[in-house]
Every structure is written in C-alpha cells, then in structure tokens.
C-alpha cells in the first residue's frame, strides 16, 4: 500500500470542531502530514473541555483522567494527524508557530476573519517568505460584508442559507437537518479547494489565498429550489419528505421507538406492487390519479403505507421492498451504521488502538484507490503529543529553544497548568 497521493505535503491545521478538522482529516487520509494546532488553555472545541460533557461521547461512558484525549468527537475527526500544542500569547509562541508555518505547504483555518492575521499567519506575511504557501480560510459568511465577523455552526448555517425553510413540514417552522450537515460539506469543499490549489501550484510554482464562505458554498445543495423560487416568484412550500413528482416519497414509522423506513414510488407500476405487498390491492388503481393530483390522494396512500410499516421492523421492510424493485432504505441511527454488514464487508471501518481510548472501530472515508490504496489509519493525537518533533522538523528549533519554550509554559500540554 502506498504512502498516499499527498505524501510529502505539509498541512498546518489551525481549526476547531468539525468543518475545519474534517479538511485535515481528508488530506491526512490522502497521505499529507497534517499537524493540528491548539493550546492547552484553548483546546479544540471537540475535545470537550477539562471535565468532559455528555458521557455518551466517551468510550464506555467513562471520561477518565484525560477526557479531552478520549472523546469520540475529536478522535474520529483527527485521525492520522499530529498535535502541536503551543500558546502564541506566551513568550516565543508566536515566533515558533510562524517558523513552523513558513515551512508548510498548506494552512487551513475555520475561525472568524482576522484570527490568522492576529496570529501573524496572514497570507501577506507568509507568502513574503514562502511564495508557494496555500492559505485557506473557511469563515461562515466570508471575509467581508456585514455578517463577516459572525461565528456559526452547521445548524445555524443551514438556517442562514434558507435551507431550513425549504425542509420544514409546512407548519411555518423552519427545520434543521439534525446532524449539522453543512460541517462535513464544508470540509469536503475545503479539501477540494486545497487539492485544486496544489494542482495549480504544480503548474505555476506559486501558492495562493483561498476564501471559502461555508454558507455560499452550501448554496448548490439547494440550487434547484432557489431557481424554482425565482421562476415562480415565491419559495416552494415546505412539505417534509414528500415530493410532488412522486406518488410516495416519505419516511414511515416502523415498529420500535423512533424507527423509520424511507420509501419512494415514482411509477404507477411500482405503486401497484407496493399496494399488493401491504395488502391494499384495492388502492392499486388509484395510482394514476395520485400521480396527477398528489394533494387529493397523498394522505390516503401515505396512511395505508404507514398502517403497514408500523407493524414491522425497518430492517425487515427495506430489503423486502428492494427485492420487489421499490426504492426503500432504513433510516439509520449511529448504532445501525456501526453494525451495518455492507459497510463492514467493504472494510469501511477499521479498528485503531488509541493510547487513551483503547481499541475501537473508526469509520473511513467514502473513497479509495484501487491500485495504490490509502495509508493505514492512525489514532488521533493526544493533546500536544508531537509538539517537540514538529517544532524540530518544521521550525528548526534545537534542544535549548525547546527547553525554554517548555519552561515558560508556551508548549505545555497540561491544561491544568497555571
């Protein structure tokens, strides 16, 4: 197995939470040397703080002595990275980080505009000493404009794009998707932008500054709805999971607590098949009328399907309908995904032994190379685990300089230190 197509590329990951670290996770999976930067007093938000948070976010529900090294949130999104723990407000910290950044190929940040400049890592300063540097900033609302200084998370960005208004249930209340959908989308956008910039650098020898407004980058996800709004001079009416172009398109409650199955029927023939399967052959002939006038018949058809699905388990319903040629799938929660036999058969999960979290399965990414493969996954770093080696390799610091930074608390990996 190869070292990966980005082997030799150095990435300074000055990010927090999900969208930014996910960029680094993708690049690390492709073989880049990704260094995640944080300070002991200002750790990555997804480390969960000194005393931990929701016990469900820790292996076996146990926080341990170092909960910030055990949380599944951080450990799942920072695989294959190294950790540089440095406080730029302490003596020598800013200079050491600047020296490390100068030898990087890529710097990525998802903080609000101006944060990198205050750290001395703005593009003007770095490109003056490294013309090949690629700097990517991922502010929620861009680097200028009246909302530029605002922070945001995945759910709030969904509301800002207008996406949440489109996916409501018609009761006037906008609805978020639930899993902070725009965070990983922002991560993939950031990784794609970086690889594009790296490709261009191969042609020109020069780096560049890239701005990714995460709200703007999300707009293609609702492009069709935006165009429909412009054409009709009003926004499409929210209708939950339903679609006017389908006879059936919805999530139906199944046996159990909060268990659902998604079913989509787009032809009269498939509706006839489903009607017979659920024991409602009397409704088979209503399909053509339903396709022409969904509003008139939708509730009747949905009610018939719901009366059947609520009697059965979703994992029994979905394959049965699939075998009949009907689009159907269980709505999966985390445990469903973790135990999915198909994902395990494709080796999507890989067991990794973390010094604090122990041996656990971690999910991979939805791409691979048939010929070269991808590097084996390594555990997420413990706080400050690689500080000295990174400052030696990237900043060129020696023993005396490293000892002085440690003595001053600049490179401390102890969040309890005063």
Output the domain CATH number for residue 216.
3.40.50.10540
Full DSSP string of 166-198: HTS-SSS-----SS-THHHHHHHHHHHHHHHHH
Cα–Cα distances in Å, from 317 out to 254, 259, 278, 321, 342?
A: 9, 12, 10, 6, 17
- Taking alpha carbons only, the member of 295, 321, 296, 297 closest to residue 308 is 321
Residue 233 within any structural domain of the chain: no
Burial tier of 323 (Cβ tally within 10 Å: 0-12, 13-18, 19+): exposed
Closest CA to 136 of 221, 20, 295: 20
CATH at 270: 3.30.1540.10
Q: Are residues 130 and 158 in the same domain?
A: yes
Where among 333, 358, 374 does a domain terminate? Answer: 333
Q: Return the pLDDT at 58.
A: 95
SS3 assignment, position 252: strand
Domain final residue, candidates 277, 306, 333: 333
Are 152 and 25 in the same domain? yes
Other Cβ atoms within 10 Å of 329 Cβ, number: 17
Residues 159 and 26 in one domain: yes
Residues 6 or more apart from 134 whose CB is under 8 A from it?
Answer: 105, 106, 107, 194, 197, 198, 201, 207, 208, 210
In order, the DSSP letters of 191-249 are HHHHHHHHHHHHHHS--EEEE--HHHHHGGGGHHHHHHHHHHTSPPPP-TT--TT-SEE
Phi/psi of residue 88, each to 5°? -75, -10
Look at residue 145 and tell me if it is in a domain. yes
In a domain, 341, yes or no: no
Task: Please list the pLDDT of the chain residue by residue as tens digits (418 residues).
Answer: 457 889 999 999 999 999 999 999 999 999 999 999 999 999 999 999 888 888 999 999 999 999 999 999 999 999 999 999 999 999 999 999 999 999 999 999 999 899 999 988 999 999 999 999 999 999 999 988 898 888 888 888 888 888 888 877 877 788 888 778 899 999 999 999 999 999 999 999 999 999 999 999 988 888 888 888 899 998 777 888 888 778 899 999 999 999 999 999 998 899 999 999 999 998 887 755 545 555 567 788 999 999 999 999 999 999 999 999 999 999 999 899 999 999 999 889 999 999 999 999 999 998 888 777 777 789 999 999 999 999 999 999 999 999 999 999 999 999 987 6
Q: Verify that 49 and 178 share a domain, yes or no.
A: yes
- Expressed as residue numbers, the domain containing 296 is 248-333
Torsion of CA 232, 233, 239, 242, to 10 degrees: 20
Same domain, 388 and 326: no
398 and 303, same structural domain?
no
What is the number of structural domains in the chain?
A: 2
d(C-alpha 27, C-alpha 259), whole Å: 35
Residues 165 and 292 in one domain: no
Same domain, 310 and 402: no
Residues 272 and 169 in one domain: no
Q: What is residue 151's predicted lDDT score, i.e. its pLDDT? A: 85
Contact between 107 and 115 (Cβ < 8 Å)? no
For residue 134, the SS3 value is: strand
**Would you say residue 339 lies in a domain?**
no
Final residue of a structural domain among 305, 333, 361: 333
413 belongs to a structural domain: no
329 and 288, same domain (yes or no): yes
Compute the distance between CA of residue 218 and CA of residue 300 in angstroms, rounded to an integer: 36
357's CB contacts (< 8 A; 6+ apart) are 59, 69, 70, 72, 75, 379
Residue 342 domain flag? no
Helix (H, G, I), strand (E, B) or coil at 289: helix
- For residues 135 and 19, membership in a common domain is answered with yes
Q: Let me know if residue 113 belongs to a domain.
A: yes
Q: Which of 253, 250, 254, 234 is nearest to 242 (CA)?
A: 250
Q: What is the β-pairing status of strands 327-331 and 349-354?
A: unpaired
SS3 content of the chain, % helix, strand, coil (to 5): 45, 15, 45
Per-residue pLDDT, 81? 97
Collapsing DSSP states into helix, strand and coil, what is residue 10? strand
Give the predicted TM-score (pTM) of the model.
0.91
Q: Give Cα 394 distance to the centre of its chain.
A: 28
Residue 120 Cα to chain centre, angstroms: 28
In a domain, 320, yes or no: yes
176 and 268 co-located in one domain: no
What is the pLDDT, as a whole number, of residue 152?
A: 86
Residue 380 per-residue DSSP state: P
DSSP H or E segment with residue 371: none
């Amino acid at each position: 197995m190869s070292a990966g197509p980005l082997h030799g590329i150095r990435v300074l990951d000055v990010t927090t939470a999900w969208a930014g670290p996910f960029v680094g996770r993708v690049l690390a999976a492709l073989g880049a040397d990704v260094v995640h930067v944080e300070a002991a007093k200002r750790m990555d938000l997804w480390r969960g703080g000194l005393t931990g948070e929701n016990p469900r976010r820790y292996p076996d529900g146990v926080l341990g002595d170092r909960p910030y090294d055990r949380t599944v949130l951080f450990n799942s999104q920072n695989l294959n990275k190294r950790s540089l723990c440095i406080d730029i407000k302490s003596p020598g910290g800013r200079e050491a980080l600047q020296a490390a950044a100068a030898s990087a190929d890529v710097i990525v940040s998802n903080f609000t505009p101006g944060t990198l400049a205050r750290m001395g890592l703005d593009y003007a300063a770095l490109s003056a000493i490294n013309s090949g540097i690629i700097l990517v900033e991922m502010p929620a609302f861009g680097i200028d404009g009246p909302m530029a200084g605002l922070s945001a998370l995945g759910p709030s960005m969904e509301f800002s794009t207008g996406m949440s208004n489109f996916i409501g249930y018609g009761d006037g209340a906008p609805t978020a998707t639930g899993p902070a959908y725009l965070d990983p989308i922002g991560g993939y956008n950031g990784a794609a932008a970086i690889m594009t910039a790296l490709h261009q650098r191969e042609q020109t020898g020069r780096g560049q500054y890239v701005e990714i407004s995460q709200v703007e980058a999300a707009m293609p996800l609702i492009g069709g709805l935006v165009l429909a709004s412009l054409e009709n001079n009003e926004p499409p009416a929210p209708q939950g999971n339903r679609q006017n172009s389908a006879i059936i398109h919805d999530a139906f409650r199944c046996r159990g607590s909060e268990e659902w199955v998604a079913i989509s029927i787009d032809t009269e023939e498939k509706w006839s098949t489903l009607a017979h399967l659920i024991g409602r052959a009397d409704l088979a002939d209503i399909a053509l009328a339903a396709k022409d006038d969904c509003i008139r018949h939708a509730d009747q058809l949905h009610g018939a399907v719901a009366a059947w699905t609520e009697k059965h388990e979703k994992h029994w319903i979905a394959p049965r309908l699939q075998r009949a040629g009907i689009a159907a799938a269980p709505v999966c929660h985390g445990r469903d995904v973790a135990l999915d036999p198909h994902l395990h058969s494709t080796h999507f999960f890989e067991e990794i032994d973390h010094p604090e979290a122990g041996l656990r399965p971690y999910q991979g990414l939805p791409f691979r190379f048939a010929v070269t493969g991808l590097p084996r996954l390594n555990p997420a770093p413990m706080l400050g685990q690689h500080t000295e080696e990174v400052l030696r390799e990237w900043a060129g610091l020696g023993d005396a300089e490293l000892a002085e930074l440690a003595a001053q608390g600049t490179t401390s990996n102890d969040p309890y230190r005063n």
